[in-house]
Each structure stands twice: as C-alpha cells, then as structure tokens.
Structure 1
Amino acid sequence: MTIMPKRSFPSPGGPEAQRCIQPLPAGILAAAKRAFTTRRVALDLAAGIERNAAPRAGDVVLAEVETLGQHRRLEDIHGRRVTLNEGDRILVAYGDRYAPDQFEAHVPATSGPCALVAGGGVAAEVLRRSARVRDATRILPLGILVDATGRRLNLRDFAMKSAPGGGLPSAAARVIAVVGSSMNAGKTTAISAMVRGALRSGQKVAVIKVTGTGSGGDLWAQRDAGAGLALDFTDAGHASTHRLTDAQRLEIFRTLLRRCRQEPGIDTIFVEVADGLLFGESARLVLSGAFRGEVDALVLAAADAMGALYGEGWLIGHGLAPLALTGAFTASPIAADEVRAHARTPVLARGELADGALAADRHPGRQPMGRVA
C-alpha cells in the first residue's frame, strides 16, 4: 500500500494521545472488493484510514487477503460471490460470529492480522471452529475508514431509519416467526416456501431476519421467492448480532418490524431467528415479552426427527405452542412420519408450505401468541 502523508487527530482518550490518520490514495476503495455487510455505507464520506486502532464492532475496515482458507469467495453488495485471491484488498466490517457449523469469533482487541469469518464480509479473531471446515481465510487490516473529521465509518451510522409516529398502513399484518433446532435446520427454506404459499393465496408479504451473521443469501432467497420487502439486521446497522445486548436485539426486531408495517398492503410478516433454541441469545429473544407480544405464531424448523420433537417440547414447556413443525427432516418421509407419531403439532413439508398450508385468510386483526393451556 502506498504510504501517504499522515495527519494527527486528538484521541477520545485524552489530549496527550494521538491517532494516526492516513489519507486514502486515489482509487483504492473503488478497486477494493466490497462486502455485503458494507452495502449501506456511503463510501464517498471516506477520507482516510486509521491505522493501529482498536477495532469496534461495525467499523468498516480496508484489509488485504493474506492466506486463503474456508472463505475463498466474498459476497459483494449485489449478491455476487466474488473470487478472492491472495493480495486482494477487501472492504469488510468488524463483527462477532457464533456459528456451530463454522466458527466462533470475536472482534479482535488490536488492529493486527485476523480472519474473514463470514462470506458476507465479517472480520474477527477465531476462537474455535468446527472440524468440518478449513482454517479461516487470514486478512491483514490496513486501516479503519474515517471521514474528513476523523470519525470512523461504522455500520450503525448508516442504519435504516423508520419514521416515528403516525399510522402504520400494515399494522394489522400477521406476524409468523420461524425458529430452529439448530443452524442449517431449514428455517430460510421454510420461509421461502411460506412466502410462495402466501402469494398463491393473494397475500403481500415481508420477511425480516433479526439475528445472525451478515450474509445476503437469506435475503436474496426471500426476494426470489416473491417477498415484497426483505430486510435483515445489517439494515439496522449490525454486521452480526452475536454479543449484542438483549435490548439491542429487541431494538433490531422492533426497527425491522416497524419498517415492514410502514409498507402499505403487507398481509403477513415472516420473522427468522437464527441458529437454534439452545443458543442463549436466540432463546432469550424468543421468550421475551416484547417478542411474544408482537408475534402471532411460531413455526419450528428442525434438522432431524429428534430435534423436531425436542424443539416442540422446549417451546411447549416455555408456554409456546408451535403452529407447525417443518425443516430439513421433512425431506425424508420416514423421518416425517416418525415425528408425526409422537408430536402434538402438525408436520408440514416444504411442498405443503408452498401450497399454502399456513396461508390462512387475511386476518382482520392481530392475535399475539398466547400460552399453551
């Protein structure tokens, strides 16, 4: 990287500390491969990079690919999976990750070499990984983007804003949340099928993903299925929801839900909660009074038959009756029949959801979830 003249800015830590700001060489950002997580960031505000600064979640960082590992492609702001090469410069965001099938990773304490822990563009330091995946792709941060005043560019500064007050055109929209037994249980596939089923019944639908790690695959899937509006937590200013406070996750949920209700004509809003119910962050969100007060029904997606039955029991044990059981296990008619033999809840395969099995007539008013009798 070409070294340009440096400028010093007072540090928030005190007048005696100085921050090292390096102006951006012309064209360097345009040439970088820009990740999905940064798609809302106004790069025209970037005037320099701050080097050797402790990162914060959401900070946008210019980095160089050092060694290719698990993620050999980077999802760009348009959804294309761009091939990575060693030496490529990329624009990603610092964030945490919790993914039992891949990595657990935290925002590093320093600006030193770290890892690309998600294909959507999340930089972090790996704590542990699944034996089923390669070591993470290693990257060298070159600096955090800053504006002309020295302020860091952070995803939170570019979060979607919902208009306060006033009537909500889709306030009566039915809200159906899909939760899972685990990561990769079939939640996104189930929602895509339910979107198709709702469209067949003449409904207009919206989809929100309220937790997870930044990646556009789920959003593109719902838009392809026909959702009139599809949003996720990155629209609310977060590269990831892992290690946020419970209050922050609820605020993401409320922000995205309110934006959907501001969209005229929405009949049903589908909500995806990432990972499984054994993950404390997901469980606390689903069990919170604020979440339950906004959601009319729950659907459980499970990876296998035992996961479906345990998940059903978990929900019922916490006073929540799922509307249906679905997920990857329903790909096997044998596994689906095993669950039907023991479950209290209807089992619906992907095709049944797409045919409109849960697309009830438009509801004249909301009916938030009640407790199991």
Structure 2
Amino acid sequence: MKTIKKSIITKSVENFKINRTIRKTYMPKSGDVAVFQVISIGKHSAIQAENGNNTYIFPGDKILATFGNRYATAQFEGYVPKVHHNKYQILGQGGVVGVLASLHAKLDDVGPTEVKLIGYAVNEENQVINTIYNGVERETFNPIKNRPYEMYLSVGASMDSGKTTTAAFLSRGFMQQKKKVAFIKLTGTVFAKDCSIVRDCGAKTAVDFSYCGYPSTFLHSTNEILDILETLLKRVERINPDVVVIEIADGLFQRETKSLINHKPLMNMIDGVLLSCADSLAVNSGIEILRKINKEPILISGIFTASPLMIDEVKNETNIPVFTLEDFTNKINFGSVFPNIKALINA
C-alpha cells in the first residue's frame, strides 16, 4: 500500500483492501474509490496529494483515486463509466478518473493521462468505499435559518472568466476592513488550488464540496448541492465569520449553475452577486441573465478588466461598477459598493 500514490479526494480513506475480482462486473458510482495504474502521461503529469501538494506520476505508478464526472469547457468532458473499459482517463488533478467524452482543441496534441483499473478499494465487509460523506455528517439545506453574516456569490459567464480571483480579492477587501471572511467553493471538480488562492488573499477559512467527499458536483442534483452548501456553512461557522463568499463554478449556462441561480430560496439568502467575464460582450449577457432572476450584479469584474479598452466599453453600456483587482483593495472604491463598512473606513 505504501507504493500507492494517494490523491486528495481520497484523504478520508485510511484502511482498505484491493478487490481485483469485481473489476469487470461492478459498475462504479461517483465517489467510488479504486486503485489505478498509470499507462501513459498526457495532460496530467501529477496528482494532488492529501496535503494539496503535487505528486508527480509516471507510467507504472499506482494511484488511489475516485470515479467521477467532469464538465470543463476549456479542458475535459468526462463521465463515470457505464461499462468496463480497458483504459480510463484522469479527468481532474485532484484524483478524478472516468471516461473521456470530449476535450478542448488546445489539448488535442497532449491528450489525457490514461490509466487502467487494478481493483476497487473495499472495507472489511468487502464493500466498495465511497468518499461522499465518508466521515462527514450531511446537513439538510435550511433557507430560513437566521445567519449572522453576509453572503456574497461569485459567478461567471464561463470557465476561466475570473470567478475565483474575484472571490479572492473580494475576500481581501473585506479582510482589510477587519472583517472575518470564509470562502466556499460550492461546485466544480476537486482541485485544492482555488481554496488556497482565496485563503492566501485573506480568507480565514476556505473549503469546497470535496470536504463532503464529492470528486465533482457535475450531474448531481440541486438538492444534493444545497445540502453540500448547508454542510459547508456549518463547517465555516466554526470561525464565526462576518462574511461568507461563495463561488459557483463554470458559466451561467452550465447545468448546475443554471439550476442554482434559479433556486429562489437560495438566492434570497444572497446579499450580493458579483459577475466575472472574459470579454465585454459577455458582460451584457450576464447582466441580462441575472436581471431575469432579480439579482442584478452589485459589481462586474473578471479577466476583461485587464484591458482598459474593454473596461471603457463596459462602462459605456452599464452603470454597474466595474472593479479591477486594485479596486477591491481601495477603501473608497470598496466602500462605494459595500456601504455597510463605511463606518470602518472613516474610523
């Protein structure tokens, strides 16, 4: 077992045996744990270990990972297999394995890292171990619960539009105003980097859906994801936060994102929505989508703010504040959008 490289999504798995006899007969579910052997290296030359650090992998190495789905418009689309395959693909660096369905053209040359199934990780009762709520108690979503903190939601027009960076610098802005900030990444595919960035920017605590054992939230139900949120809120409430910043992955048209932003009880909990976009035209579409659910963004940010010309284009079309990264740490600009902290600014 010592020669098996353990991925971060399997950190809750301590003792297990390898069952090789059910490789071809057992059909896995999202979160099912298995031992794989690396066949060839493609996009992923490393996996994230239990501590979040990268562990490099090579052909012949054995890894402990989970089956899961992935939706990433700039990378991979992949699914938990419905039949046995001779080869599987690493879909995410956090230890997500499945069957590749499509990939972005930029990855055509490198392709995915391929692995083969050695056997399933089973417990003493010979049951396949599943990471979902393995050692973590599931909470039930409660939209009417009184919560003594503000909640802000970071959404984007697409993958890689700047959502995490926006959430990180929002957290830093609040931190500089002496606010205690917690960060939750609610959806996506397990990858510790996002929480690390926000924590480094000033969040007192940062946690994502993988705390509940989910390798990915893609294709899981809205009710499941809302329960994840409640479970994560209970987790971050340990620090008595003043502010909770929540990020939903991917773009506004993505399956889970679309469902969540149209869930009124959830959105009624949110004090403000921040929209990140990669270009100026996406800003217009994003604003319109959010207006339809009566959640016009309180500010706009994202990758497009790297271009002064695109900032001008957006400012000519909307009165919603446009924030560069510097604006989040400017007390006057920050206070113009978040007036509840003006007393601290003037203190």
Q: Would you say same fold, with TM above 0.5?
A: yes
Q: Which runs of 5+ in 2 are unaligned?
A: 343-347
Aligned equivalent of 1:171: 147
Distance 1:170 1:317 in 2: 26
The one-letter amino acid of 1:72's match is: S
1:332-351 equivalences under 5 Å are 332-351=307-326
Structure 1 residues 116, 264: closer, same or farther in 2, change over 3 A?
closer
Aligned equivalent of 2:18: 48
3-state DSSP of counterpart to 2:297: coil
Shift in Å, 1:344:
3.3
Aligned equivalent of 2:285: 310
Are 2:38 and 1:38 aligned? no
- Native 8 Å contact 2:68 2:96 kept in 1: yes
Are 2:68 and 1:89 aligned? no
1:231-310 equivalences under 5 Å are 231-260=207-236, 262-310=237-285
- Native 8 Å contact 1:331 1:349 kept in 2: yes
3-state DSSP of counterpart to 2:220: coil
CA deviation string 1:261-286 (max 9, x = no partner)? x3243100000000000113201111
The one-letter amino acid of 1:178's match is: S
TM-score by length of structure 1 reads 0.84
Structure 1 residues 250, 163: closer, same or farther in 2, change over 3 A?
closer
Structure 1 residues 360, 203: closer, same or farther in 2, change over 3 A?
farther
- Native 8 Å contact 2:251 2:257 kept in 1: yes
Aligned equivalent of 1:79: 52
3-state DSSP of counterpart to 2:19: strand
Distance 1:181 1:163 in 2: 30
Structure 1 residues 108, 128: closer, same or farther in 2, change over 3 A?
same
Structure 1 residues 126, 56: closer, same or farther in 2, change over 3 A?
same
Distance 1:94 1:313 in 2: 37
- Native 8 Å contact 2:299 2:320 kept in 1: yes
Aligned equivalent of 2:345: none
Distance 2:227 2:322 in 1: 32
- Native 8 Å contact 1:159 1:235 kept in 2: no
User: Which of 318, 340, 343 matches 1:361?
Assistant: 340
The one-letter amino acid of 2:97's match is: A
The one-letter amino acid of 2:3's match is: A
Are 2:103 and 1:129 aligned? yes
- Native 8 Å contact 2:91 2:100 kept in 1: yes
Aligned equivalent of 1:322: 297
Taking only aligned residues, the RMSD between alpha carbons, in angstroms, comes to: 2.1
Aligned equivalent of 2:121: 145
CA deviation string 1:181-223 (max 9, x = no partner)? 0000001111111111111100000000110011111011122
Aligned equivalent of 1:101: 74
Structure 1 residues 111, 340: closer, same or farther in 2, change over 3 A?
same
CA deviation string 1:68-125 (max 9, x = no partner)? 1111111112121222211111111110000010111000123432100111110010
CA deviation string 1:295-330 (max 9, x = no partner)? 111000111111112111211123211110000100
- Native 8 Å contact 2:133 2:212 kept in 1: no
Which range moves more in the overlay, 120-129 or 222-231? 222-231
Aligned length: 329
- Where do 4+ consecutive residues of structure 1 move more than 6 Å? none
Distance 2:242 2:50 in 1: 29
Q: Which runs of 5+ in 1 are unaligned?
A: 1-27, 364-373
Structure 1 residues 278, 159: closer, same or farther in 2, change over 3 A?
farther
Distance 1:235 1:71 in 2: 23
Distance 2:202 2:138 in 1: 23
> Computing the radius of gyration over CA atoms, which structure comes out larger, 1 or 2?
1
